[in-house]
Structure 1
């Protein structure tokens, strides 16, 4: 979700700047049946030499190329590459990277990362030499939206005060820790529910299906997720590895307390304006119970979270991207 939000938001934000002298043209590469700008048989993309040729060709008509992921090599010479993090190199269930990623990145490539943590990862794991940190912004639909009302929540199966988790199901999302936490916290919070947003997945059912008062609404439209978060007691982000951790920023931006694990980029993004905790079930449960029993100053967390979220914007990110482009072109 974070990468998709970044790609759509930063492109629109750069276009909205309407900087004179710039002409931006999006292009995509995909297999022969896709709707991509460049349609190439998958067997060509899977072959190192074929992918390299595709990467070179896609940059022939541009003064500068900005790649948004690693699936296709870029053109020879200076260009820009966004790298959000490198979970495939840390976790076995995060897929794999193309074979050319085993080599150090060319010093001609200017890498954009969303956090200092992500920058440290790409510097260590793919030996990137030129890295610029540009944090994400906040989508308009997450800027203090109107919370969903009781009837709308009931349509999603939510009927009590609730904690919400909105992320994937891979190991780094630490669903095991969250499940252990809810098993411990639920008896102390009999009037609360735990809501897990996201498409149906066997791991959610396996880990949470036997626990009390767990609601699985399925996939919710992204612009509606913010309104669900705004109605929650807290947004819980139990991840142990995030290059940014967009749900933590979004939770603060909607005006809801955030409970986040102190791993990856989450401490950097929250900067002390969320309730930080360790990754174990017992530690997360303690934080959840403290919020549910009003043992923390919820209003203070909301105020500080909103102030922190206000320091992030896609407009600011777009201007920083243009600075990187000017530097590379120079």
Structure 2
């Protein structure tokens, strides 16, 4: 059997970003009978052993603190990973871009989801510097690199001057049934009341990071006809004070509802209550929220840049994220053109069905077996 060791440092963040990817891929891979799986996680505050009981293999909590294990300012430790884990594996698989500062006696597979901190404006120069150090280390010490889209694959190859055949695309997935199954009316109204959602609304669901371009959504919303704004409000999750101030300055604050963190159990209801999902990021390595909205039967307006056209296909109305008027026109058109809405909803559902975690994990399984031919059947 092929011995695979999972680095599981992000696995506790199973509701957001990279943590979702890491959790879902590992959960699917552990079902393959030709893989002998194990996992490891370096100690961090708040780490709880019970969080790993859902995995059907041994997960070791290593005593070395994570802040030391992943400190790229330190030299490579004079010890092999298998010595720390007390198990020698054929492949050491990391579904994020951070490698521990150990030596490896086996194949190393690392995942670089995107280059957002290097290609867009970020909140801090320190964020960019830290991210670059991690990714440069991963590129230099990995036998194989995974990413989530063809766009990211091309970006990584060009930025780090590495051949495309070192990089393999294992896409994100979406839990189609979770978002597509109709939420019953009682629960929908409970979610509406819980978050004080308007009767009809455009939804931005995501973070307020600069590359998400949420300010442009507010500016575009201010330009749609006033009668439409009165009838259809705007809901923004994870809003911050600068965005709230912008809404005040644009004169649209009464029509904008800012909500905090949305519980994972309420996400499907959020999408199904919305009349439109807006996602006009300046850069995305993939864009899971557009697939979640499509699965829920919510029409999508998305950016025509980075990986979003690849992920959306013809199932979204694509716009230039730098063109405020174009964003405003697209929102108004989807809200008022019943034929366009039906077309986007139908195409969106079909598009979301193509992206499953099982399919992505199957592709990765075949890649791992190919990395060590002959091992999986021994």
- Provide the TM-score with structure 1 as the length reference: 0.89
Which has the higher Rg, Structure 1 or Structure 2? Answer: 2
Cα distance in structure 1, aligned partners of 2:223 and 2:114: 32
Q: 1:29 to 1:123 in 2, by over 3 A?
A: farther
- 1:79 alignment partner, one of 85, 103, 108: 108
Q: How does 1:245-260 map onto structure 2 within 5 Å?
A: 245-260=287-302
Q: 2:362 aligns with which of 309, 319, 323?
A: 319
Determine whether 1:70 maps to 2:97: yes
* Matched ranges for 1:93-112 at <5 A: 93=122, 95-96=127-128, 97=131, 99=133, 101-102=135-136, 105-106=139-140, 109-112=143-146
Superposition CA RMSD, Å: 2.6
- Within 5 A, what are the aligned runs for 1:208-223? 208-210=247-249, 211=252, 212-223=254-265
Query: 1:60 deviation in Å?
Result: 6.4
Deviation of 1:317 after TM superposition, in Å, equals: 0.8
Contact map agreement 1:146 1:227 (CA 8 A) in 2:
yes
With over 3 angstroms needed to count, the CA separation of the structure-2 counterparts of 1:53 and 1:252, relative to structure 1, is farther
Q: CA deviation at 1:294?
A: 2.6
Match of 1:133 in 2: 169
1:195-234 matched pairs, under 5 angstroms: 195-198=235-238, 201-210=240-249, 211=252, 212-234=254-276
For 1:21 and 1:71, locate their aligned partners in 2 and report how far apart those are by CA, in whole Å.
26
Cα deviation, residue 30, structure 1 = 4.5
Closer, same or farther in 2 for the Cα pair 1:89/1:267, shift >3 Å? Answer: same
SS of the equivalent of 2:37 reads: coil
Residues 291-330 of structure 1: pairs in structure 2 closer than 5 A = 291-294=334-337, 296-330=339-373
User: Which residue is 1:25 aligned to?
Assistant: 38
Shift in CA distance, 12/100, structure 1 to aligned 2, threshold 3 Å: closer
Instruction: Extract unaligned runs of 5+ from structure 2.
Output: 1-15, 49-60, 374-378
Aligned residues: 326
Select the residue among 29, 35, 42 that pairs with 1:14. Answer: 29
1:120 paired residue number:
154
> Where in structure 1 are there 5+ consecutive unaligned residues?
none
Tell me the CA shift for residue 208 of structure 1. Answer: 3.1
Task: Quickly say closer, same or farther: Cα 1:224–1:88, change in 2 above 3 A.
Answer: same
Q: Deviations over 1:152-203 (max 9, x none)?
A: 31331112211111111112101121111111126241111111123x5334
Partner secondary structure for residue 113 of structure 2: coil
Q: How far has the Cα of 1:316 moved from its partner?
A: 0.6
Task: Sort the Cα spacing of 1:78 and 1:185 in 2 relative to 1 into closer, same or farther, 3 A.
Answer: same
